[in-house]
Amino acid sequence: VSGEHPVDVIVVGSGVVGLSIARELGRAGITTSCIGPGHDGDGAASAAAGAMLGALGEVTAGAAGEPERDELLLRLAAAAAYPGFVDELEDETGRTVARGSGTVVVANLVNEQDRANLRAISATAHEHGVRVEDVDPDEVAGLNPARGYEAVGACHLPDEGWVDTSELLVALAYAVRTGERTDLERATVSGIRTDGGRVVGVELADGTVRGASTVVLAAGVAVQELLDGIGEPVGPLPGLLPGKGVSIRVRAPELAVPHVIRTPNRDFACGTHVVPRGDGSTYIGATNRVSATPGAGPGITPGELHSLLNSAIHEINTGFRTAEYLTSCFGLRPLTTDHHPLVGATAVPGLFVATGTYRNGVLLAPELARVVTEELTGRAPHNPFRPDAPFRRGRVRREEMLDAVDAGMRDLVSFLVEPGGHLPYNRHRELRTFLQALGRGAACGGDTAEFRRMRELLERYPIAEMVPQVFYEITTDRRPA
């Protein structure tokens, strides 16, 4: 490999994760080159981020497994260390990075899960000794929902904050560009070079090559394509999917408040959140479209803008209706097929990954940087999210699939009746239960009691009128024993 100036490490990716890693490696005395197309292009997750430093705001009811707990602990550690991280970055670069603390989580009746999630957030905060207080929604500055969308509960997390992502990215890029042992190259990495099974560098889109004995892939969801192109066994590794998120910025000085106002997580996303920006504007986020759902492709759809604005105006502050619209953007969150971050050595000597941060990349970036730096300096960090972590091994269990179906169908029904809709009577829950039963049956190849009963009925009475019978047997739980 003919790299002009071979370095110890190449970090691929110039978003908040890649930049944080390169900076941290440089600080540890490792000569590092960070290569990426910049952090402001279409699809760059970092630029589209809020960024709430949401350690507790991201808690959802019922997420109780060991990896979920480990991830919560990682978020809490990251949140506690964040002020120090930004202080140091400011000192080092002479730049300011706007940030603030305070997050108000509000629950309303638009989403059935809101209250359970709000309770889970409060309980988790108490359990981990993080300050939290219930507040009267009427007393929350900046919260002024429309009639019919009133909050029915709210809690204040005074220590859970936000950071201005644009200013953070500028400061991080400056730190890497000017660092004694680091440099930043604006280029797209198109492939990883190996020799005799180990990493020797990367190839850029223009065909030139950069040499390094260690490569860290920190390019968000783009890591998947790079891994696919290597031609060496890298794994087993979970796959990466793009979770497209759309966000907008508005200017409304009379509505600007110094804290985050957000709903709990909802319907496959972070819910609606409004976050202050350093220039006095207000960030509104965010949608989430994964995989082949409409709107998952590149670009921003009217439907995404509509759902964001509809929710922000009705659920957070009707004043946004007349705010000055500034801009919108989208980013691709890196989501692993096991839903957890992915950081550490792959099976290819010299090749590391740091991605899979999904909705928490800005918050987790310094922690990923710490883990990678500790690994590369011979310390053995506590890292529950390494590629070969025990929870990642083995076949997908039946219960895992059933849990995914149950949560997915619940959120799907809730998502389908948005914006602001609901079904009459108890139809919402009936539909959810029915779809869960169908999904569970499909996921298990028909091997469930509900599926067997449905087949039995339809074999005996192959008429459309049997479908409501099946529906009520399943949803009212009046199945024959």
Among 34, 52, 55, 227, binds ligand GLY (CB under 6 A): 52
* Nearest to ligand GLY of 50, 384 (CB atom): 50
DSSP 378-399: T-----TTSTT-GGGSSPPPHH
Task: Please choose, out of 12-20, 46-54, 303-311, 395-403, the segment that lies near ligand GLY by the rule CB under 6 A.
Answer: 46-54
3-state DSSP percent of the chain in helix, strand and coil, to 5: 40, 25, 40
DSSP 199-255: EEEEEETTS-EEEEEEEEE--GGGHHHHHHTS-S---S---EEEEEEEEEEEE-TTT
Q: Which of residues 311-340 bind ligand GLY (CB under 6 A)?
A: 333
Among 285, 350, 439, 441, binds ligand GLY (CB under 6 A): 285
* Nearest to ligand GLY of 315, 450 (CB atom): 315
- The tokens for 463 are 């008429």
Place of tokens 């957000």: 262
Q: Which of residues 346-365 bind ligand GLY (CB under 6 A)?
A: 359
Among 140, 270, 351, 368, binds ligand GLY (CB under 6 A): 270
Q: Is 118 in the site for ligand GLY (CB under 6 A)?
A: no
Torsions phi, psi for 364 (to 5 deg)? -85, -15
User: Which residue type, as a one-letter code, is found at position 260?
Assistant: V
Torsions phi, psi for 224 (to 5 deg)? -60, -50
Task: Please choose, out of 49-57, 180-188, 310-318, 463-471, the segment that lies near ligand GLY by the rule CB under 6 A.
Answer: 49-57
* Shortest separation between residue 286's beta carbon and ligand GLY, angstroms: 3
Enter the DSSP assignment of 137: G
* Shortest separation between residue 338's beta carbon and ligand GLY, angstroms: 18
Q: Is 286 in the site for ligand GLY (CB under 6 A)?
A: yes
Q: Is 132 in the site for ligand GLY (CB under 6 A)?
A: no
Q: Is 50 in the site for ligand GLY (CB under 6 A)?
A: yes
- The tokens for 349 are 């000597």
Question: Per-residue x/- marks for ligand GLY, 57-86, CB under 6 A?
Answer: ------------------------------
Torsions phi, psi for 122 (to 5 deg)? -60, -45
CB atoms within 10 A of CB 382: 10
Chain residues in the site for ligand GLY (CB under 6 A): 50, 52, 54, 245, 269-270, 285-286, 333, 359
